[in-house]
């Protein structure tokens, strides 16, 4: 069933999906962002709808990019 598949994907990706007939496709989801390094370690996460959290998240992205250049 499509609904079960969507919920399974949401669980796998640290997201929350809920049925919402007003949302495109009938589902709404959280705005969480996750930063994972090449070793599959979670380095940071944030609510992508919160400007302050996104700013800090972007600092973590920049830090990881610098580490990858070494």
Write out pLDDT tens, residues 13-69: 666 677 888 888 888 777 788 888 998 898 998 888 889 999 999 999 999 999 998
For 34, list phi and psi in degrees, rounded to 5: -130, 135
The answer to whether 36 and 43 are in contact (CB under 8 A) is yes
**Whether residue 42 sits in one domain with residue 26:** no
Give residue 3's domain range: 1-30
- Give me the pLDDT at residue 33, please: 85
Do 70 and 38 lie in one domain? The reply is yes
When divided into structural domains, the chain yields a total of 2
Query: In the 3-class helix/strand/coil scheme, how is 22-65 assigned residue by residue?
Result: CCHHHEEECCEEEEECCCCCEEEEEECCCHHHHHHHHHHHHHHH
Same domain, residue pair 66 and 38: yes
Supply the pLDDT for residue 3: 72
pLDDT score for 56: 96
Q: Which residues contact 42 (CB under 8 A, 6 or more apart)?
A: 34, 35, 36
Do 68 and 37 lie in a common domain?
yes
If asked whether residues 68 and 38 sit together in one domain, one would say yes
């Amino acid at each position: 069933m499509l609904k079960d598949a969507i919920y399974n994907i949401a669980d796998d990706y640290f997201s929350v999906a809920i049925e919402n007939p007003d949302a495109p496709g009938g589902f709404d989801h959280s705005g969480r962002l996750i930063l994972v390094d090449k070793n599959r370690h979670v380095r940071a996460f944030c609510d992508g709808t919160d400007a302050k959290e996104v700013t800090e998240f972007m600092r973590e992205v920049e830090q990881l990019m610098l580490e990858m250049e070494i």
